[in-house]
Amino acid sequence: MPVNHPLFKRILIWRAKHISHKHFVYILSILVGFMSGIGAVILKNATHFIQYLLEINLVKNWHQAFYFVFPIIGLVLVYLIITYVIRQKVSHGIPSTLYAISKRKGIMKRYQMLGSILTAPITVGFGGSVGLEGPTVATGAAISSNISRMFRMNQKTKTLLIGCAAAGAMSSIFKAPIAAIIFAVEVFSLDLTIVSMLPLLLASLSGIFTSYFFFGDDILLPFSIEEGFTLTDIPFYIILGVFSALVSIYFTEVYERIQNVFARIKSPIKRLALGGVAIGVLIYFIPPLYGEGFDVLNALIAGNPEKAITNNIFNFNLSNSWIVIGLLAGLVLFKVIASALTFGAGGVGGIFAPTLFMGGIMGNCLAKIANASGVLNSPISESNFTLVGMAGLLAGVLHAPLTAIFLIAELTSGYELFVPLMLTAAISFGITKYFVPHSVYAMELGRKGELITHDKDHAVLTLMEIEKVIETNFVTISTKMTLGEIVHQAVVKSNRNIFPVIDEDSKALKGIILLDDIRSIMFDQSLYNTILASEVMQKPPEIINFTSDKMTGIMKKFQDSGAWNLPVVKDGVYVGFISKSKLLTAYRQQLIAYTK
């Protein structure tokens, strides 16, 4: 039903009269959680169906060379769908959602509700080495955003319901409702208050009920802890935390550099060809990189590493533990390369699953090294280290330590590993945060200063728009104007005590004149024709660049300079002024809107 339809308007009026805003948000949070859960069901089932048709029926029954062909075919299909069906760019899931929150007031376009559903299953099903969690969250977030717009919710409610969509999606995928709520709070920087807690809880419950209805009791990483935590394992978990940080930094650097290489290639056909062939070669030689990789993780958790890497093309002897360790280490090194190549070639997916994959294998590999060294009196649990390794890398790569801790705790149906999870996640997050300020999700927005954070002051400044605080009622002066012209054409006509001096031809800002600068000479008519504007103007204490300066930087310029008015330029051309009083007034208004 169109938003402007008379019947829909009557529904909105009835809702406003009979259902309070708070209770209506509760209803919408349940709906959003359910829709996100449905999105997760569609994405998972479609992907697994494609993988079953391709990997089971063709690769295993015919030839392993299909591992090279499938990713290329999948990327071509995705390119055709994006170009001729969707006709819009389908961005990576969670980064695109963060961008919508930070720069588009929580508004996501309608095509984003279907973009990931049409492309992500093909990308992953045909072997793209990425995950489905990001696309699932993006799908739910787009549905949530459009429902919010339909019912005319304010920006804060839009953002909260996007968080509800993320909680519903993650709860449905992992059957981990608490971790799903924490994920929404950590990644989307939501204010965790009593007001926001209940909608997130309702959405998470709605998502997990949907998952149980369609998937039953099946979970992504089935495991129950058999070997508990002992104090003698603490040094090894500390080492695991440090290794997690190092691998997190490696992940972030490699991912960013490969993305930058592909960003310099302007032709999408060339990106597809280069990335498609590269990912095809990688998967042909290292088949465990095919798709999400949860089968590999489940084999490691179950204590069957040979099953995870048994189809290696070189037919290595897997009875030698050091060969197994070497192959597993190779998976850690090459998984992020395969994921970045998939994205660079135009594939659609997420990095949550690759992070779990790398973290689990890293933890298992480290435990195997410790056990194979022969220096331990009793072996350490490889399964436990596999699980804790996942948490360590999630904490480092995604900058989400609490999500990492509670996700693994819920997946294992107990809290026996809670202490090592906390220890490893804290070390990994602390070290990684020092060297890499922003997560992979938020890296681009963070560098531009456009990222919403838990720092309320920063968040409010990020949401403010520079266009709304620029004042243009200043009388301009050209550099060639005489003192007499300044007095009669500017001072007399202006109610401001500051005048921008611009070049008459290029309109570029050259300086400013304060009324105090000419007060001592402005009544001496003998100087009216002899003194030019260029002689009495001064350099502004700071200049605001309309294109590159963000509100956080603008506020800092006012703070450092002590000025009350600063000029704004765009490509060197004078635009107007921003006054500290107008900026602070806009800040107060935005703060009220943000917190109410």
Please tell me whether residues 398 and 314 are part of one structural domain.
yes
**Is there a domain that residue 222 lies in?**
no
Please tell me whether residues 386 and 513 are part of one structural domain.
no
Question: In 3D, which of 152, 117, 159, 147 has the Cα closest to residue 134?
Answer: 117
Q: Is 350 helix (H, G, I), strand (E, B) or coil?
A: strand
The answer to whether residues 251 and 336 touch, using CB atoms and an 8 Å cutoff, is yes
Please tell me whether residues 286 and 330 are part of one structural domain.
yes
The answer to whether residues 402 and 386 touch, using CB atoms and an 8 Å cutoff, is no
DSSP symbol at 54: I
Please tell me whether residues 160 and 272 are part of one structural domain.
no
Lowest mean pLDDT among 49-53, 164-168, 170-174: 49-53
Amino acid (one-letter) located at 569 = V
Q: How confident is the model at residue 580 (pLDDT cuts 50, 70, 90)?
A: confident
Q: What is the pLDDT of residues 440-488, one digit of tens each?
A: 877 655 554 545 544 455 555 556 677 788 888 888 888 888 888 888 8
Residues near 14 by beta carbon (within 8 Å), at least 6 away in sequence: none
Please tell me whether residues 254 and 400 are part of one structural domain.
yes
User: Which pLDDT belongs to residue 459?
Assistant: 55
Report the CATH number that the domain containing residue 141 is assigned in CATH.
1.10.3080.10
Please tell me whether residues 239 and 321 are part of one structural domain.
yes
Total number of domains constituting the chain: 3
Q: What is the pLDDT of residues 432-442, one digit of tens each?
A: 999 988 788 77
Please tell me whether residues 386 and 498 are part of one structural domain.
no
**Is there a domain that residue 542 lies in?**
yes
427 pLDDT exceeds 90? yes
Q: What is the pLDDT of residues 97-129, one digit of tens each?
A: 777 776 677 778 888 888 889 999 999 989 888
Lowest mean pLDDT among 127-141, 184-198, 230-244, 263-277: 184-198
By residue range, what is the domain housing residue 51?
Answer: 6-215
The answer to whether residues 181 and 201 touch, using CB atoms and an 8 Å cutoff, is yes
**Is there a domain that residue 414 lies in?**
yes
**Is there a domain that residue 412 lies in?**
yes
Domain boundary among the residues 451, 485, 514 is at 451
Please tell me whether residues 468 and 322 are part of one structural domain.
no
Domain boundary among the residues 418, 451, 484 is at 451
Please tell me whether residues 380 and 505 are part of one structural domain.
no
489 pLDDT exceeds 80? yes
Please tell me whether residues 205 and 240 are part of one structural domain.
no
**Is there a domain that residue 221 lies in?**
no
Please tell me whether residues 161 and 237 are part of one structural domain.
no
Domain boundary among the residues 215, 249, 275 is at 215
Please tell me whether residues 186 and 242 are part of one structural domain.
no
Report the CATH number that the domain containing residue 496 is assigned in CATH.
3.10.580.10
- Cα–chain-centroid distance for residue 560? 31
**Is there a domain that residue 408 lies in?**
yes
**Is there a domain that residue 225 lies in?**
no
**Is there a domain that residue 467 lies in?**
yes
Angle at 29 between CA 23 and CA 34, to 5 degrees: 135
Buried b or exposed e, range 105-134, using 16+ CB within 10 angstroms: ebebeeebbbbbbbbbbbbbbbbbbbbbbb
